[in-house]
Structures are given as C-alpha cells and as structure tokens.
C-alpha cells in the first residue's frame, strides 16, 4: 500500500478555508487515494509544534495570522521567503521544515494579467504578511508604492485625495471584510477613485467584498483574490511534489 501523505493548513478561525476543498478535489481528479488534507485551526502559533508531530506530514499551507509568526519554527527558508519575511507554504522533507512564499507568485500573475501602462505607482493598504509579498512583487517590477496602515505615518485618516489620484494601482491587503464579517470595509475615500484605477482586493471570500463593491461604483477596475489564491495553491502543490522527491 502507498504511504499516506498528509497535507494541511494552519491559521486561526479558518473553517471557511478554500484550500481543503481545492486540494481534496485535486486528489480525486488525480486518483490520489493516499493523500489527505486537514485544517489545523490554531489559537496560538506555539500549537504548531503538535501539528508537526503528525505522522506522514509532507506539507502545510499557512494563512492569517501566522505567515510571519511561523518563521522561528522552521529550519530553512527559500530565498523569496527570506526576502519577503513571510511564509505561506511549508515543505517537510527528511525532518527539515522549509518555508516558501507562493503568495508572491500568485500576486505577480494577477498583477501582470490586469496591469496597464498607466498603473505606474501603488498604494498598499495594510502591512501584514500578505502585504509583504505584494511589496516584494512591486519592487521586482520597479513600481513605487506607499503603505497605508492604521498605525503608520500614512494612515486612513491622513490619506489625501491627491495620493489616491496619483496612485492608480491600489492593493487591499487587510483581512477587513472577510467572511463572516462581510459588511466591514476600510475607511477609504472611495469617491476619489476613477475609471483609471485598478483595485486588487486579496480577499476571495466573499467574492465581492464591500471594498470592491464601493470601488466599482466609481467605475474602477476591480479584481478579487481568487485567481491569486488558485495560482499560489498550484505553486504550493508543485513545491510539495517536485521538491519532496
């Protein structure tokens, strides 16, 4: 009998997760009866030690709020994960736990699909693990950006019309508006958006956040996080299968 291969997801309050269904459907399509995918809903990152004790654990996805907190529990980081300072995929091979960042891959694919020549500078809303992957990609493509966060020098209270007008690419990286709190939205000057703006909200559940709906009212091009999610998941699958051999 084939050895069991266990994969999973660690995060907090993640019963809504996309990953379990996505990978279980993949196992069915590929007739992989020896693969399982489990959701590990952790209260505290220290509980990950127990997750690592699972027999036949080959890999994990990592989501909010542990993308940065997981790093001290790993043995190695990929070059990208080290530069970004956040991990969303773990490969476990020969008792070595190595962290990767496939969010950057997924975001880059999304950005290049929708970006036009006019999208030359950006506002990043939020400054967590997902924002770190976004910063990495923007720097790679020489797109200057400013970070807007609740506690930063530039925040949602002093964000000006001029800043919104001057930055036609806006990436929403906070979890505000994620299921089940779908009515929540950032306090953002939506009336200053135009049809030239490209708004990327990294949230995928719900499909249309309050943020996206309000941005779309002014004719802005809006994109949710679903394509990015699929792309980062495929990259994680590749890491687990190519690098484990």
Catalytic residues: 67
Q: What is the DSSP string of 184-238?
A: ------GGG--TT-EEEE---SSSS-HHHHHHHTTT-EEE-SHHHHHHHHHHHHH
> Beta strands 89-93 and 57-62: pairing type?
antiparallel
How far is 14 from 20, CA to CA, in rounded Å?
10
Q: Tell me which residue has tokens 């949230």.
A: 203
Angle at 212 between CA 129 and CA 64, to 5 degrees: 20
Identify whether the C-beta of residue 117 lies closer than 8 Å to the C-beta of residue 61.
no
Identify whether the C-beta of residue 102 lies closer than 8 Å to the C-beta of residue 239.
yes
Report how far apart the first and last C-alpha atoms of the chain are (Å, whole number).
Answer: 18
């Amino acid at each position: 009998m084939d050895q069991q291969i266990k994969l999973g997801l660690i995060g907090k309050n993640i019963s809504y997760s996309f990953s379990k269904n996505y990978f279980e459907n993949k196992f069915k399509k590929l007739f992989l009866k020896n693969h399982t995918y489990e959701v590990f809903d952790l209260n505290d990152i220290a509980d990950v030690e127990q997750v690592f004790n699972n027999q036949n654990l080959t890999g994990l996805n990592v989501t909010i709020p542990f993308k940065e907190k997981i790093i001290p529990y790993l043995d190695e980081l990929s070059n990208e994960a080290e530069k970004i300072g956040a991990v969303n995929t773990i490969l476990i091979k020969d008792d070595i736990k190595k962290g990767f960042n496939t969010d950057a891959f997924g975001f880059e694919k999304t950005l290049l699909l929708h970006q036009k020549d006019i999208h030359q500078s950006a506002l990043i809303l939020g400054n967590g693990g997902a924002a770190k992957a976004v910063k990495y990609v923007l720097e790679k493509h020489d797109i200057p950006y400013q970070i807007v966060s609740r506690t930063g020098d530039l925040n949602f209270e002093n964000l000006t019309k001029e800043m919104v007008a001057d930055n036609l690419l806006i990436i929403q990286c906070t979890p505000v508006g994620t299921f089940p709190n779908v009515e929540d939205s950032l306090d953002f000057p939506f009336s200053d958006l135009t049809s030239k703006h490209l708004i990327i909200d990294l949230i995928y559940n719900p499909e249309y956040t309050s943020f996206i709906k309000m941005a779309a009212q002014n004719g802005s091009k809006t994109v949710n996080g679903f394509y990015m999610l699929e792309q980062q998941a495929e990259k994680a699958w590749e890491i687990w299968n190519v690098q484990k051999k």
